[in-house]
Amino acid sequence: MPGWPGRPARPHHGVVPAVDRGDRAEPERSPSRAGVTGPAPAPSAGSPDGSVRGPRALTAGGVLALQRAAGNTAAAGAVQASRAPVVQRWTNPVLSLKSNAELLDAALREGDVSALKQVDDVSSLSLNQTLQLIDLLNQKGSGWGRDATVMVKLWKSIGADLLVVANRDGGARWKQSAAKVSSLMTDLQQVADLRTQFPKDVQALAQQTLAGNRQLVVTEMTSLGISTDPAVTGAQPTAEQEAKLQDLQDAAAVVARLQAAQEHARTLNVGWRMDRDNGAPPLAATGGAEGAGFVPPAAPAGAMYVPVTYDPLSKPELTDAPPSTPLLPVLGKDNVVPYMQVDEKYRASVAMVEFFLGRFPELYAITRAGKSASTSAFAAQTDPKVARDQLGAGMHKLIGDIEGAQRKLGGDLNVLDLVPLHTRMTQNGLKPPGGTVSWNDPVPAMAAKDVVADHNFDRALAAMAIDVAANALFIIAPFTGGGALLVMLAGIGALTVKASLSADRAAALTQAAGTAAAPGTALVNDATVDTAAKEAEADKVAAELAVLQAVADVAIASAAQSGTRVAELEGKLTQKLADPLLKEGAHTRAYIDPTGRRVTQYQRETIQLLGEEHGCHSCGAHDPGPYGTWHGDHQPPTGLVTRGLATGPQILVPHCEACSNRQGNLVREVIDLWNALQQARNRPAAPGVIPPIVVTPAPPDGGT
């Protein structure tokens, strides 16, 4: 049997090799060992031992007779010598001596992937053979190197019928190939053409949708006697128009109740998140925590689980209460409603609103803000003309948003952000006027999703590039001598441009989200708008912080050269320290003595009781805030005591969420001013330069 080059064939050990039975000759009767009947074969020329040579001389009977007369070894040698010489070709994963046809044959007959990946030409294959080899690569091939090259060749060889073939069986074969070899999405011209066509079809469909929505609104306005010119006041409604307005108001009353229920649902606590103010690690969204194998994550001292309110766009990190430990307490266990129950009711109310808007699309102009107050105001209006004017104002604004979206489409409003349109195209087969691509077919749908994914990735990369450039400028600024300010300004400029782009995108998406005039005509979903708004806000904050950093750096440099800056900082610091939030509040009725910087579990529970009974010590409010939890407030604040800006014994009193947040910001401002003052003096500032807050707590009424 053939082996690797240079390796000797393995010897036979008393085994007679198989005899070629191509002639199907009847085997001769076995002769006795004493004598062999029949004519003896003539020795071949050049055969010193007279052994039999040539394929004709060795029949099955002859071999058997030779075995008995001369032994197995001689018979095996004779058979081997009798075979006609052939050229043996071999295959390995790197190099093959086989021809292209032999390689294809090995791949088709034996499923030899090593042979297939060395094929140069697949044009001779039938369609069934091509699909057979594609399946072979899907099952056994890799997604790179020669495997990927041959995969592209095989699909490309199908030619004009590529999309028809790839869409067969729900596109199962194509999806498997594309998941393994991603370059198929760009290397095949028919698929690349789909990627190019998708944004064009989305834009055409968006324009058609916007034009249709505008026409629908204009028709509704005409039927109600509302002029398309906002400056024109219509006449008194006719009896028919009054009847229609009454129907709209009746429907609006129902929608307002549904909107109010949705607003209430968004105030309900439906789960927990870990308070990460102290650097706690993030949690995976598990939907529950007390299941088998749950291990609470390691958390720093002071971390806790706090309740979160319902958000229709985001599920809480935890929907089941995690186990409470002394180091990781869980707040609000008795004030949480099951998430699934609230979510089910919320989505049912959304479906009911959609039902009424489907029957009365004119209400889109009133209800699209999603606020029950404005919808209720329209429903409760008793004067038909005033009600019509309210509806007309909403319709004029709706037309303004539609026209604004039409102008921004393809610019600030990127067609690859219009997710509802993508869904209607790839799931429902929606086409623009004159469209020829069925986007709900498997290959076009994959191409569309691939284009959108690339768009999101490219946008993320662009944002990252701006951040990296801006951060680099801030890093090198201290080393640029007199040009430091210019370098920092360049960094601020980069972040400001990014913030402006994010704001424009968020505004365009928000405007486009308000262009629906009937169910199924939305261009943008709430999740896209929400994400864009958060990105814009984050970029705005980053730019503002960059400005503050630059201002602080410049201020510090100037203060080092001018004593007037020191006096200015001292004046501002003294003013901040006089704020009532940095003192024991006027509403203090009870307090507890702290045992350190951290609030213990016992102290936290006691603060909850004091807050429920006496309210916030600063403002007197009896509502702790959205999380339903009172904060334990050290008075005077620890940050001031440690810097010598306040003296006297500390107490622990209840604080509401709003006052706690304002106080936290105020303390940070004081500390920033204090640090700036230290740097302006160019030396550590000794306590007492700024008069500290002196605290002598008065015994509370029935104090603890």
What's the chain's length in residues? 704
Residue that wins the pLDDT comparison between 403 and 80: 403
When pLDDT is averaged across residues 484-492 and rounded to a whole number, the result is 54
Cα–Cα dist 377/394, whole Å: 13
Residue 592 is given by DSSP the state B
**CB neighbourhood size of 5 (10 A):** 9
CB-CB contact of 349 with 262 (8 Å): yes
Residues in contact with 3: Cβ distance below 8 Å, sequence separation at least 6, in sequence order = 9, 10
DSSP states of 162-229? HHHHHTGGGGHHHHHHHHH-TTHHHHSHHHHHHHHHHHHHHHHHHHHHHHHHHHHHHHHHHHHT--SS
Residue 106, Cβ density class (10 Å: 0-12 exposed, 13-18 middle, ≥19 buried): buried
Cα–Cα dist 277/292, whole Å: 28
Q: How would residue 291 be classed by pLDDT, with cut points 50, 70 and 90?
A: very low
3-state DSSP of 371-426: CHHHHHHHHHCCCHHHHHHHHHHHHHHHHHHHHHHHHHECCCECHHHCHHHHHHHH
Q: How would residue 108 be classed by pLDDT, with cut points 50, 70 and 90?
A: very high
Residue 330 is given by DSSP the state B
- What backbone phi and psi angles, to 5 degrees, belong to 394? -65, -40
pLDDT in tens, 576-625: 888 888 888 888 888 888 888 888 888 888 999 999 999 999 999 998 88
Q: How would residue 527 be classed by pLDDT, with cut points 50, 70 and 90?
A: confident
pLDDT in tens, 114-171: 899 889 999 999 999 999 999 999 998 888 888 999 999 999 999 999 999 999 999 9
CA terminus-to-terminus distance, the chain: 98
pLDDT in tens, 492-506: 566 666 677 778 888
CB-CB contact of 425 with 440 (8 Å): yes
pLDDT in tens, 213-243: 899 999 999 999 999 888 888 788 999 999 9
| Amino acid identity at 689 | V
When pLDDT is averaged across residues 273-282 and rounded to a whole number, the result is 58
